[in-house]
Structure 1
Amino acid sequence: MDEKAEFAERLKSAMLAAGYEPRPGVLEKGFNTHYWGRAITFQAVSRWLRGLSIPEQDKLVVLAEWLGVEPQELRYGAGVTASAKNKKKRWDDAVTGPEREVLQDYLTLPAPQRKTIREIIQTYVKANASNK
């Protein structure tokens, strides 16, 4: 199955889960009620549901908010969300206590000072690698 068809299946599932029948007329009316830009046509939403196109990012965000799902999950599937959560968990598990405080302090510094700190750290890493 190609990317557009997979998106169409996720869109249909999200509509059903939110209590909407996955039909172009329902999608057109519901989407346009929530979208702040120029109204989307029946043909455009029909193409989304048939797996012929994928909406642009601004429209995808509105769809996701309306249907109560995460935009990245609607666009790419649950696997992407799970992967991101796993990476965050690994980071949270690895960075604790004093290291976390230092990183939080680092993020409050102005960009030129952050650059200097990065260069210092990279110098230490290179020196440590050459000592092995």
Structure 2
Amino acid sequence: MPSAVDPKAFGTRFRQAMQRKGHGGLGATQLAEALVSEFPEGLSVQSVHKWVNGTAVPRPDRLAVLARWLDVSEHWLRFGPDPKASNRQTGGSDRPLNAKDLARRLQALSEPQREILEALLLEFEKIPPE
């Protein structure tokens, strides 16, 4: 397991996971408010701001809560993809996506990404199922 945590890389993964879960548009204050129930001991807007901007990494106990809330692995959120893991999906869990999560992830894509995905789906439709 890596020993060093890169705050900037953490911030990028944190923003990606937030986007996937439909929280990408939240500012630090809104995000801190959304996390109130997850952190009953309190959470400062400054801490959240540092996480989002990649200038700090949360303590392990807080990171565990964030990973659960964002539905990603703690390892991925802290360090990035685990080279030993069999599941190579970025930040993914071992369970398949449900329709609601899939729709949320599709909505989070940019227009060019959606166009690429649509072209890919059209290609798959040309291949008869086995």
TM bucket by the smaller chain? Answer: 0.5 to 0.7
CA radius of gyration, larger in: 1
Instruction: Structure 2 unaligned segments of length 5 or more: list them.
Output: 87-130
Q: Which runs of 4+ in 1 moved over 4 A?
A: none
Partner of residue 29 from structure 2, selected from 25, 30, 48: 25
Please list the CA deviations of residues 57-85 of structure 1 after superposition, one character each: whole Å capped at 9, or x if unmatched: 0000000100111111011112x2xx222
Higher helix residue share: 1
Please list the CA deviations of residues 69-125 of structure 1 after superposition, one character each: whole Å capped at 9, or x if unmatched: 1111011112x2xx2225xxxxxxxxxxxxxxxxxxxxxxxxxxxxxxxxxxxxxxx
CA spacing shift, 1:50–1:26, aligned 2, 3 Å = same
**CA contact 1:12–1:22 (8 Å) conserved in 2:** no
How does 1:37-76 map onto structure 2 within 5 Å? 38-76=41-79
Counting aligned pairs with the same residue, the percent is 27
Partner of residue 7 from structure 1, selected from 2, 10, 31: 10
More RCO (CA 8 Å, sep 6+)? 2
Q: Distance in 2 between matches of 1:57 and 1:24?
A: 20
1:84 aligns with 84
TM-score normalised by structure 2 residue count: 0.57
Instruction: Structure 1 unaligned segments of length 5 or more: list them.
Output: 87-132
Instruction: Give the length in aligned residue pairs.
Output: 81
Give, in angstroms, the shift of residue 22 of structure 1.
4.5
CA spacing shift, 1:48–1:28, aligned 2, 3 Å = same
Give the letter aligned to residue 10 of structure 1: R
